[in-house]
């Protein structure tokens, strides 16, 4: 009896320590976090000690051997020993991984992500490369542990062991998610972060006040050079510099897309309008071609960053003060766009202010503590999931990773699910797009064929008494992308001519919106036979679309409403709506 009591006591101790470890590597919402790495290593050492104590208890020379020969108890002890061996191995793997992570973190903290002087010891990328073989060995050990977990004799575990297993399973699941998401990226780090030589990127800083199909208008861009994991050069310039360099070197003058010619009277296609496509891979291809003409140093990738993502970073960092033209200005998430525009009257000055603000923001991030930097990383990841950040890489292996994560901004995010998409662009030439909101009602009925009635109401919430530049008339160019094979039966207004639209996949509509006004566009179409789901694609840079979905089919009666903050799926088989890439 004492023997069983002692085993149960050791089980409880090990399980409680496992709970301590679990708590240290997840936040309040259950999301993985690095936590306090030195403390995590200490907690893991204690867990390993507790598990080994329990292992020795089961393997006591006399009592243990008698118990193992008993028919029922012996089976339980064998199952428990297998569990303990697995727990010890997982603990050792996690402890070894945390030690490497701690070294990477220390190197990052010592040298940061900006090259402001000679590195103090190894950079974080140096550590990754030095420990590459150990990281690979850990991944192999972990895969073997996953196989051992699958082979455990769960049926014969005693109650205390079952409780311990439940805790270890949670740790195992979380570790598996981290491995699957990050481990395969290690071979790409050198190319992405300048380990094999300098890596250069073009970052479009897109203003959501003036929408284009791929997001906000890129009035400013940043050219970034990275070497050995640190930014060695950063230049923030008006897009006019790139326009001029391209115009001077181009072999021919390309005509601007049709709507820009018709409504903005713009004849030439320049880099600042490379974003005239909802398909970011097409945008990147156009921009790469235009950039290459300039003869400037080649870039390895392009990123489009909407102003909304910058606002989120500023909200996380908090307000700070900055001197601009001899004046002290407060910078925060609510005023930074207004601050830029307040310098607009001086020719070209507001573009310079973008550069000043951009560099000051990077300084704020550099000065932030590690937890804040980590929070910014997750914030940027979420922004990419919402298409507020879009990425294109020239290296096909790295681009494949971008596509896998859904960060490529493709017009058809998932080839397996038919896409329903709408894009809104401002062809007025002013800064009123932030006032434009839309309400989308999607009604699906019938089965063979299924009929969809799509009603979209556009609202201009600009103040009629406000400044015309920011609250005035919005000439809205709308493009609608229906699933391939869909048959349009009616529209409330005639689509624009195909030669103006310039995209065989889309229907184009011109919607005039005065301040305080609303307009409704209605479409009715039938879906191809066998269409049981639709992917609703969120447009980059646009205010979240309010969506109401109703469906009445032979197998589904659905009524749901939500804001399209990221791509969503209407599933007529499961009769539900859900986020895509949950």
Which CATH number do you get for residue 453?
2.60.40
Element of type H or E holding 359? helix 349-367
Whether residue 251 is contained in a domain is answered as yes
Residues 182, 207, single domain; the answer is no
The answer as to whether 201 is a domain residue is yes
**End position of a domain, from candidates 134, 169, 188:** 188
Angstrom distance (rounded) from CA 443 to CA 527: 12
CA neighbor of 351 nearest in space, from 339, 340, 362: 340
Instruction: Identify the CA nearest to 307 among candidates 462, 459, 434, 468.
Output: 434
- Beta bridge partner(s), residue 490: 524
Q: Could you tell me if residue 270 is inside a domain?
A: yes
Which structural domain, as residue segments, surrounds residue 163? 2-188
Residues 295 and 435 in one domain: no
Q: Supply the pLDDT for residue 77.
A: 64
Residue 462 placed within a domain: yes
Domain boundary among 188, 216, 231: 188
Q: Is residue 409 part of a domain?
A: no
Residues 182 and 245 in one domain: no
* Whether residue 357 sits in one domain with residue 299: yes
My answer on whether 207 and 256 are in the same domain is: yes
182 and 51 share one domain: yes
DSSP-based three-state secondary structure for 62: coil
- Gap between the Cα atoms of 71 and 159, Å rounded: 18
Q: Which of 391, 409, 407, 382 is nearest to 214 (CA)?
A: 409
Boundary-marking domain end, from 188, 219, 238: 188
Q: Do 181 and 197 have their domain in common?
A: no
State the pLDDT at residue 50.
54
> How many domains, in total, are found in the chain?
3
- Domain assignment present for 411: no
Tens-level pLDDT at each residue, the chain (582 residues): 334 444 455 555 555 655 555 555 555 555 445 445 455 555 545 555 655 565 555 554 433 444 444 444 456 667 767 777 777 787 778 778 888 888 998 999 898 888 878 888 899 999 999 999 999 998 899 899 899 889 888 887 766 667 777 777 877 787 787 788 778 888 888 999 999 889 999 999 999 999 999 999 998 999 999 999 999 999 988 899 999 999 999 999 999 999 999 999 999 999 999 999 999 999 999 999 999 999 999 999 999 999 889 899 999 999 998 888 888 888 888 888 778 777 765 454 566 788 888 888 888 998 899 889 889 999 999 999 999 999 999 999 999 999 999 999 999 999 999 999 999 999 998 999 999 999 999 999 998 889 999 999 999 999 999 999 999 999 999 999 999 999 999 999 999 999 999 999 999 999 999 999 999 999 999 999 999 999 999 999 999 999 999 999 999 999 999 999 999 999 999 999 999 987
Residue 413 lies in a domain: no
CA dist 57 and 90 (Å) reads 20
Cα–Cα nearest to 392, from 305, 313, 295: 305
What string of H, E and C letters represents the secondary structure of 491-546? ECCCCCCHHHHCCCCEEEEEEEECCCCEEEEEEEEECCCCCCEEEEECCCCCCCEE
Is there a single domain that holds both residue 235 and residue 338? Answer: yes
CA distance 568 to 575: 13
**Residue 23 sits in the same domain as residue 147:** yes
Helix and strand totals (H; E) in the chain = 18, 19
441 and 330 in a single domain? The answer is: no
Degrees, nearest 5: CA angle 47-52-53 = 95
Indicate if 432 and 543 belong to the same structural domain. yes
Q: Are residues 208 and 91 in the same domain?
A: no
């Amino acid at each position: 009896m004492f023997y069983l009591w002692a085993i149960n006591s050791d089980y409880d101790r090990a399980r409680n320590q496992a709970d301590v470890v679990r708590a240290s590597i997840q936040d309040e919402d259950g999301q993985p976090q690095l936590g306090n790495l030195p403390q995590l290593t200490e907690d893991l050492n204690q867990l390993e000690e507790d598990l080994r104590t329990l292992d020795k208890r089961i393997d006591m020379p006399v009592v243990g051997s008698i118990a193992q020969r008993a028919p029922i108890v012996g089976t339980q002890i064998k199952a428990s020993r297998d569990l303990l061996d697995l727990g010890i191995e997982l603990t050792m793997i996690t402890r070894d991984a945390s030690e490497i992570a701690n070294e990477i973190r220390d190197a990052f903290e010592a040298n940061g992500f900006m090259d402001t002087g000679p590195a103090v010891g190894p950079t974080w990328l140096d550590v990754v490369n030095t420990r590459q073989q150990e990281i690979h060995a850990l991944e192999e050990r972990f895969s073997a542990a996953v196989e051992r977990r699958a082979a455990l004799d769960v049926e014969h575990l005693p109650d205390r062991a079952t409780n311990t297993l439940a805790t270890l399973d949670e740790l195992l699941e979380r570790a598996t998610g981290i491995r699957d998401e990050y481990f395969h990226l290690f071979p790409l780090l050198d190319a992405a972060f300048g380990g094999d030589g300098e890596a250069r990127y073009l970052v479009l800083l897109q203003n959501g006040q003036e929408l284009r199909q791929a997001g906000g208008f890129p009035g400013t861009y940043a050219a970034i050079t990275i070497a050995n994991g640190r930014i060695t050069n950063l230049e923030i310039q008006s897009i006019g510099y790139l326009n001029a360099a391209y115009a001077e070197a181009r072999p021919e003058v390309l005509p601007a897309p049709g709507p820009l010619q018709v409504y903005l009277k713009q004849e030439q296609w320049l880099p600042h309008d490379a974003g005239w496509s909802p398909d970011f891979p097409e945008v990147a291809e156009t921009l790469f071609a235009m950039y290459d003409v300039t003869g400037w140093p080649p870039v390895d990738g392009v990123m489009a960053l909407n102003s909304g993502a910058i606002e989120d970073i500023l909200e996380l960092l908090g307000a700070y003060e900055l001197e601009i033209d001899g004046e002290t200005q407060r910078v925060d998430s609510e005023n930074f766009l207004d601050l830029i525009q307040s310098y607009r009257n001086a020719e070209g000055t507001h573009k310079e202010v973008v550069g000043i603000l951009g560099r000051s923001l990077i300084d704020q991030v550099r000065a932030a503590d590690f937890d804040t930097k980590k929070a910014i990383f997750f914030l940027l990841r979420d922004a990419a999931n919402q298409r507020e950040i879009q990425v294109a890489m020239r290296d096909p292996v790295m681009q494949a990773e971008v596509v896998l994560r859904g960060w490529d901004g493709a017009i058809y995010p998932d080839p397996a699910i038919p896409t329903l998409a709408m894009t809104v662009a401002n062809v007025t030439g002013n800064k009123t797009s932030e006032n434009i909101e839309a309400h989308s009602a999607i009604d699906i009925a019938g089965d063979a064929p299924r009929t969809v009635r799509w009603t979209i109401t556009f609202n201009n919430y600009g103040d009629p008494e406000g400044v015309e530049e920011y609250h005035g008339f919005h000439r809205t160019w709308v493009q609608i992308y229906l699933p391939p094979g869909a048959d349009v039966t009616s529209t409330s207004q005639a689509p624009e001519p195909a030669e103006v639209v310039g995209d065989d996949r889309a229907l184009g509509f011109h919607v005039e919106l005065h301040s305080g006004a609303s307009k409704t566009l209605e479409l009715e179409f039938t879906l191809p036979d066998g269409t049981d789901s639709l992917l609703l694609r969120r447009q980059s840079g646009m205010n979240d679309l309010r969506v109401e979905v109703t469906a009445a089919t032979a197998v589904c009666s659905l009524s749901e409403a939500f804001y399209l903050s990221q791509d969503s799926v209407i599933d007529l088989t499961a009769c539900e709506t859900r986020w895509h890439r949950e």
